[in-house]
Structure 1
Amino acid sequence: MSAPRLPEELLHPQPAGLYCPAGDFYIDPVRPVARAMITHGHADHARAGHGTVWASPQTLDIMAIRYGESFCDTRIPVQDSTMVSGIKTCFTPAGHVLGSCQITVDDGDTAITVSGDYARVDNPACAPFQLAPCDVFVTEATFGLPVFNHPSPRAEINKLLRSVAAQPERCHLVGAYALGKAQRVIALLRQAGWDQPIYIHGALQRLCDYHIEQGVDLGDLRPATTKDGKAAFKGQIILGPPSAFAATWAQRFPEPVICFASGWMQVRARARQRGVELPLILSDHVDWSDLTRTIQELAPTQVWVTHGREDALVRWCELNQIAARPLRLVGYEEEAD
């Protein structure tokens, strides 16, 4: 009878990403590979050009929307779990964006959960986070410093609505990434009682349409075009991708209040660098308290940290008698939050 694999034998980093030799697949590889499992549709985790891709049905749809129908050779949708070359892989909601999942690799002796990106706060635009029990937890650490404790999403949305009410002669331009953040801001606005039209940049349209198809209530969305004149946008809320704010697009609107929805808006210097008048601290990643709470609740024997503030989290684990190490993976961006 063969000895159980060490965790490092079941899953370990290679230049292309985290690799499972027994199953001969990668998780969120940063370059094209023959067999890939994808946690979610953001471009730093989901790339085109793979052979076979396993992912949630929604993530596969999102990749097709972003990259075209031929983004890979073969798509295999996974609802809950599947077997690949004798390795059981389970897909558990990550609470990050629509379709996002943690992927647990289990050979019968050891279970390793790769979180991808995850969040544990109110997000009406995707399924909520669920704990995925494991022996080894592979976690991000985007906001892996004690200083990052984000306010409640509802409080930030109410801050936006108070500003709109106080400045009816101006419009509010909200920078929000096209996948996940834009739809979450819109859905939170609807939950808060904003029943007026919300105007969106054309780059957000297709992914917003897909969220609506998937049952996410985004209400009345309209194109953010100024064919009716600037005055039509007074007192209105307009969403666009952050890239559009560096172009002439933002200058089309009446005295815009520039807003940006991101966990990084807790860092005032970043808000100033972007010329943000109204920072909205809305993150789709765990902050320090939720990050450490997740580890405590999972109680894994080991923690591997993939990207972000690796050293601080490794040190916290050591102080709490949890074995931990940084993986030093490259190719995952921290800005898209």
Structure 2
Amino acid sequence: MRADQILHPTDAGLYCPPGDFHIDPIRPVARALITHAHGDHARAGHGAVMATRQTLEIMAIRYGEDFAGQRQVADGPTRIGDTTVSFHPAGHILGSAQIAVQPRSGPKIVVSGDYCRRANPVCAPFQPVPCDVFVTEATFGLPVFRHPDPAGEMVRLLASMVEFPDRPHLIGAYVLGKAQRLIVLAREAGIAGPIAIHGALQRLCDYHAEQGIDLGELIPATAADVPAQLVIAPPSAFASPWVQRFRDPVIGFASGWMAVRARARQRGVELPLVISDHVDWPQVTATIRELAPEQVWITHGAEDGLLRWCELQGIPARPLRLVGYEDEPE
């Protein structure tokens, strides 16, 4: 059986005929395997969903307990139709996983979803999984993207807080994964006092704490006189009246896209923090070299740049050109 007979793109997303399931489908399907709970990969309305326990629990928080007809926790290799599937840590956010698909006969395919090779204190590290075909994201799949050490970005944040002690620092961060990672990085950098959070972050921060991730003292950012110099909110909050309660704030944003200074200027970001939960160019190319798959399939981003790199390395590659995936919607 050829790889494209095991898994191929459709209007609904990646489909596996021998297992009769989709991976991260963008519309409701009968059976979905979900890599992680970001809204551009995990949607409600499927007949059945298989994912890690944490991903299923986060989906229930975000979409309600009835987000799918049935749920199944991914726990070890599982037979589905004429395939065996298994879930392996992706290092992206809490509960994130790569999905390995092994047919009865034919190549083994690993769908990485979104993944990161840099240490992330709020989730399990990426686990390299040997495979014949590796499906990789290319969110930052251009040589210009070389993300700095997050600890160094936190040094910049602390320096700004020292330089402007009377100005609240409002940092935009996606509500799931990035916000909690930013809080832990701030704690590791020495911020011991209360950190204020927008109400949209509360339930997911509570869930991370329930999973044993120490976020320290968090207080609601509900008043103009919040007793915390550091405030974390979803990016959408900065376009709402909520931000007007803060006097002369330093506006920041934590994202890999802050490496593009034009994006920071367009958003009015005074303190861009280049902190990404995706692989950058050195990480994605190093991962492909490490796995040494027979084929690379590329999706979610700058497909053409990574396609050209694979060609120069003599690695057969193809773009999947899936639609409907982007940064976590806010």
Give TM class, smaller chain.
Answer: over 0.9
The alignment partner of 1:43 has SS state of: coil
Identical-pair percentage? 64
Of 78-87 and 201-210, deviating more is: 78-87
Contact 2:39 2:329 in 1 (8 A): no
- Cα distance in 2, alignment partners of residues 336 and 32 from structure 1: 18
Contact 2:40 2:329 in 1 (8 A): no
Alignment match, 1:11: 7
Of 136-145 and 105-114, deviating more is: 105-114
Alignment match, 1:327: 320
Contact 1:308 1:334 in 2 (8 A): no
Q: How far 1:80 sits from its partner (Å)?
A: 3.2
Alignment match, 2:154: 157
- Kindly report structure 1 stretches of 4+ aligned residues shifted beyond 6 Å: none
Q: How far 1:79 sits from its partner (Å)?
A: 2.9
1:86 to 73, 82, 87: 82
Are 2:268 and 1:275 aligned?
yes
- Cα distance in 1, alignment partners of residues 208 and 10 from structure 2: 34
- Cα distance in 2, alignment partners of residues 45 and 81 from structure 1: 22
Contact 1:80 1:92 in 2 (8 A): no
Alignment match, 1:120: 117
Alignment match, 1:179: 176
- Cα distance in 2, alignment partners of residues 86 and 187 from structure 1: 42
2:202 to 200, 205, 211: 205
Q: How far 1:336 sits from its partner (Å)?
A: 5.6
Of 161-170 and 28-37, deviating more is: 161-170
Q: 1:248 to 1:272 in 2, by over 3 A?
A: same
Tell me which amino acid in the other structure corresponds to 2:4.
E
The alignment partner of 2:99 has SS state of: strand
Contact 1:36 1:52 in 2 (8 A): yes
Deviations 1:193-227 (Å, cap 9, x if unpaired)? Answer: 2111000000000000000001111010010011x
Alignment match, 2:287: 294
Tell me which amino acid in the other structure corresponds to 2:230.
I
Structure 1 segments unaligned to the other structure (5+ residues) = none
The alignment partner of 1:222 has SS state of: strand
Deviations 1:127-159 (Å, cap 9, x if unpaired)? Answer: 111111110000110000000000001001111
- Cα distance in 2, alignment partners of residues 102 and 201 from structure 1: 31
Tell me which amino acid in the other structure corresponds to 2:6.
L
Alignment match, 1:70: 66
- Cα distance in 2, alignment partners of residues 79 and 269 from structure 1: 44
Alignment match, 1:139: 136
Of 108-117 and 32-41, deviating more is: 108-117
- Cα distance in 1, alignment partners of residues 137 and 124 from structure 2: 19
Tell me which amino acid in the other structure corresponds to 2:19.
G
- Cα distance in 2, alignment partners of residues 170 and 319 from structure 1: 50
Contact 1:172 1:236 in 2 (8 A): yes
Q: How far 1:166 sits from its partner (Å)?
A: 1.3
Q: How far 1:162 sits from its partner (Å)?
A: 1.1
- Cα distance in 2, alignment partners of residues 335 and 83 from structure 1: 31
Q: How far 1:307 sits from its partner (Å)?
A: 1.7
Tell me which amino acid in the other structure corresponds to 1:107.
P
2:127 to 105, 127, 130: 130
- Cα distance in 1, alignment partners of residues 210 and 7 from structure 2: 36
- Cα distance in 1, alignment partners of residues 50 and 250 from structure 2: 42
The alignment partner of 1:31 has SS state of: coil
The alignment partner of 1:199 has SS state of: strand
Deviations 1:210-258 (Å, cap 9, x if unpaired)? Answer: 00001111010010011xx53x44x610000000000111121131100
Deviations 1:270-316 (Å, cap 9, x if unpaired)? Answer: 00000000000000100000010000000000000112000010010
Q: How far 1:192 sits from its partner (Å)?
A: 1.5
TM-score under structure 1 length normalisation: 0.96
The alignment partner of 2:296 has SS state of: strand
- Cα distance in 1, alignment partners of residues 164 and 108 from structure 2: 53
Count of residues in correspondence between the two structures: 329
Contact 2:38 2:328 in 1 (8 A): no
Contact 1:197 1:219 in 2 (8 A): yes
